Amino acid sequence: MNVLVVGGGGREHALVWKIAQSPLVERVYCAPGNPGIATLATCVDIGVNDFDRLIPFVKEHDIALTVVGPEVPLTRGIADRFAEEGLKVFGPSAGAAQLEGSKAFAKDLMRRYNIPTAAYAEFDDADAAIAYVEEQGAPIVVKADGLAAGKGVTVARTIDEAVGAIREAMTDRVFGDAGAKVVIEECLVGEEASILAFSDGATVVPMVASQDHKPVDDGDRGPNTGGMGAYSPAPVVSAALLDEVERTVLRPCIEGMDRDGHPYKGILYAGLMISENGPKVVEFNVRFGDPETQVVLPRMTSDLVPVFLACCDGTLADAAVEWDDGACVTVVMASGGYPKTYEKGKTITGIEAAEREEGVTVFHAGTKLADGQLVTNGGRVLNVTASGPDVASTIAKAYRAVEQIAFDKAHHRTDIGQKALARLGV
């Protein structure tokens, strides 16, 4: 069978990498892809939201399955459009994708179905939001309601910082229409973890736990990014805790979406805060996390493609989903200045040297070819990923690989996985 992956970042590179290993797959296409993906798949110059070109391409190239990476085409209804054309697509409908497309939608669903989350209020008036913050005090969390590429969340340590975040979103509209409404939440205390799960609308199968690192600088300082690195397993998530998350978060969400008329097929991502009072949902996403995908899929020992097909066909309960007992770590190499202003076009060297070590794969997140040279083309540039027997040795391997790679003004965190080591007493 032929498979199309929609997207062009590090998550999609990891998806293509895993899908290409399936004996069921004859050819993988990726739209639009990137230079790293091009070593494994045929890249086609079609944008992720250009449904009018994607659909004819799928028909013309006899593509049996389309896998959607990013959230924006899902919220815009790519799954609905493909279904109307009789095409098999892995990803939720636009109605179900509201779970990520609107923070208010997600919080309302959690409230109605008793899914544990932070106390909150929503506002479409900046003055009312500011008055609420002044009444509640700080620390407090301000979230743009809509999609903001992972950058619309401010954990405000002071009232002034919260007021600034409200004005930035609602008055200055730095996130566009995504900031027309804000959700303001209590600030949860604990350790974060990410649980991704497969769903066919009725059955939900959790994946192994991982932990992302959102702030740009070491020690979780600086502004939030799309993610500066991740590792799996996450020791903060015990087997008992994973069972609790499945029982109190994942199943109620899938069941609630079905009751509300939005059957959920695809990936359900639960971003959690593991607090003294148990796991609470920080956010839901409707697709594979980035960079969590880069550390979860390398640990999957079973074939990913039959699982995708089972989710589409409603037969997930019969699918084999198996994982290894090792570890995986990814370190994001970003452009200097990210997530704010940064330069593109910097020459990248050393990837081949990094990948010479067994268990190292470099997933391309923001790269392109210019005059035959690989150069930077985004904020997050590379996901330097290592697999190994345990977290400690795998962290060391990932950073050895990072040291082999260079581009002007490259920035990376040096503490990815340190929380795991602290919990393990290493």
The residue ranges of every structural domain in the chain are 2-91, 125-180, 191-318, 327-424
Report which of 2, 68, 72, 5 is spatially closest to residue 38, judged by C-alpha positions: 5
Residues 253, 263 contacting (CB under 8 angstroms): no
What whole-number distance in Å separates Cα of residue 192 and Cα of residue 220? 11
CATH number belonging to the domain at 327-424, selected among 3.90.1150.30, 3.30.499.10, 3.90.600.10, 3.30.710.10: 3.90.600.10
What whole-number distance in Å separates Cα of residue 103 and Cα of residue 413? 28
pLDDT tens-place values along the chain, 426 residues long: 999 999 999 999 999 999 999 999 999 999 999 999 999 999 999 999 999 999 999 999 999 999 999 999 999 999 999 999 999 999 999 999 999 999 999 999 999 999 999 999 999 999 999 999 999 999 999 999 888 776 788 889 999 999 999 998 989 898 988 889 899 999 999 999 999 999 999 999 999 999 999 999 999 999 889 999 999 999 999 999 999 999 999 999 999 999 999 999 999 999 999 988 899 999 999 999 999 999 999 999 999 999 999 999 999 999 999 999 999 999 999 999 999 999 999 999 999 999 999 999 999 999 999 999 999 999 999 999 999 999 999 999 999 999 999 999 999 999 999 999 999 987
Report which of 46, 96, 43, 38 is spatially closest to residue 71, judged by C-alpha positions: 96
What pTM was estimated for this model as a whole? 0.94
Report which of 144, 173, 139, 143 is spatially closest to residue 157, judged by C-alpha positions: 139
CATH number belonging to the domain at 2-91, selected among 1.10.3720.10, 3.60.21.10, 3.40.50.20, 1.20.1530.20: 3.40.50.20
Residue 133 DSSP label: H
Residue 303 class from Cβ within 10 Å (0-12 exposed, 13-18 middle, 19+ buried)?
Answer: buried
**Pair type for strands 27-32 and 2-7:** parallel
Domain 191-318 CATH assignment equals 3.40.50.280: no
Class of domain 125-180: alpha beta
